[in-house]
Amino acid sequence: MSKVSSDTLWDVAAAEVRRRESRTGEEEAEEDAHFPSQRTVFFMGSKAGGKTTILLRFLDRDETAKPTLALEYTFGRRARGHNTPKDIAHLWELGGGISLSDLVQIPITADNVSFLSVLLVLDLSKPNALWETMESLLGSARNQVEKVCAALQKTGESRSGKQQVPRVLHKDYPDRELISPFPVPLLIVGSKYDIFQDFDSEKRKVICKTLRFLAHFYGASLIFTSSKSETTMSKSRSFINQLAFGTERPKSVSTDPSKPLAIPSGSDSLSQIGPPVTSEVDIGTLHAKNPLDLWKKVFERVFPHESTKERKELKDPVKDPQFSEPLIDSIRSQKDQELDQYKREQAKSWKSLALDP
């Protein structure tokens, strides 16, 4: 006769927790190999900068990119090997450039922050808007990550798994004490390289050095790409694969300003980057508070900031043809007409009241 266990459900659960806590590294790796991983990559960047195209090419989807109105979600899957579960990458894309940065709170949450990466697309063909785009979007994302992490620490909860948040660079990271790493893995993508390569060589040099500094300062990887070049798109996919599925980090490095940049995180240094390009600027006249502020002032002397006015340019989604719904649109049109008629009638009523003795 078999022995009946007297353990309650809570006893069994507690025993399982103790077993998992006592696992060795090899046992943990072997057990985790049987379960799919789930990571989140948040795409954001310049308006009409090519985010959707990069995302579709990463997913190997032969589709025509449509403008992203606000915030869109999709996912990708990748098998680790034969007869193994497929890992899942949750992919969020923020449209509208800096105009909808408040929406970062949706894809950056307590449930995914431990396995979150950010991909920032900067339009190389519009350098005058580059710094504002970078500063605004990274600032919004950083604030949300820090807010989520602070809430987790306050409640004593831990969803960090193997990766702790905020992110901590390894002790041998170049210039570790002089930089301010982004709290989660960050990839900066310079898009529209096909247009950028026709810029004046000195202007290309300023942009390349500035983006190298920014990437190194934030502990990010940097890649230049063009939808018209399969070579650069292929390199971009390898960088995104690392964020989305934890694949091996790309090893090739290209820092030549006459070629597309490709610099994995930790492969650059302040000594290799050198000082800001100052042929048109006297650094002595600049009153910078810190190195980041100095690079900003030098960059904006060469490429003066131009307001993008993106908030005013946002289109009414009701009138966007990609969201067309004939039946609903017909009813909406009828309601709009009824509303206009109501407004006219009310206006007449108020005028008549005002004229009464």
Asked if 104 and 144 count as a contact pair (C-beta separation under 8 A), the reply is: yes
Q: How far is it between the farthest Cα atoms of the chain?
A: 102
- Which of 334, 295, 333 minimizes the C-alpha distance to 210? 295
pLDDT at 69: 82
Class of residue 45 by CB neighbours under 10 A (exposed 0-12, middle 13-18, buried 19+): buried
What Cα–Cα distance (Å) separates residue 320 from each residue in 72, 76, 82, 316? 15, 27, 44, 7
pTM: 0.77
Which band of pLDDT confidence, cut at 50, 70 and 90, is reported for residue 118? very high
Asked if 205 and 258 count as a contact pair (C-beta separation under 8 A), the reply is: no
Q: Element (H or E) spanning 169, and its range? A: none
Interval 129-179: pLDDT, tens: 999 999 999 999 999 999 999 988 888 765 444 445 667 788 889 999 999
Mean pLDDT value across residues 217-246: 96
Q: How many CB atoms lie within 10 A of CB 302?
A: 19
pLDDT at 133: 97
Start-to-end CA distance of the chain, whole Å, equals: 102
Mean pLDDT lowest among 14-18, 60-64, 76-80, 293-297: 14-18
Interval 190-220: pLDDT, tens: 999 999 999 999 999 999 999 999 999 999 9
For residue 311, is pLDDT > 70?
A: no
Asked if 180 and 167 count as a contact pair (C-beta separation under 8 A), the reply is: no
pLDDT at 319: 63
pLDDT at 202: 92
Asked if 94 and 43 count as a contact pair (C-beta separation under 8 A), the reply is: yes
Quote the CA–CA distance of 153 and 157 in Å, as a whole number.
Answer: 6
Interval 94-111: pLDDT, tens: 999 999 999 999 999 999
32-273 maps to which CATH number?
3.40.50.300
- Which of 238, 97, 120 minimizes the C-alpha distance to 189? 120
At 225, list the tokens. 């790409």
Which band of pLDDT confidence, cut at 50, 70 and 90, is reported for residue 312? very low
Q: Element (H or E) spanning 351, and its range? A: helix 326-355
Query: Which distant-in-sequence residues (6+ apart) come within 8 Å of 134 by Cβ?
Result: 120, 122, 188, 214
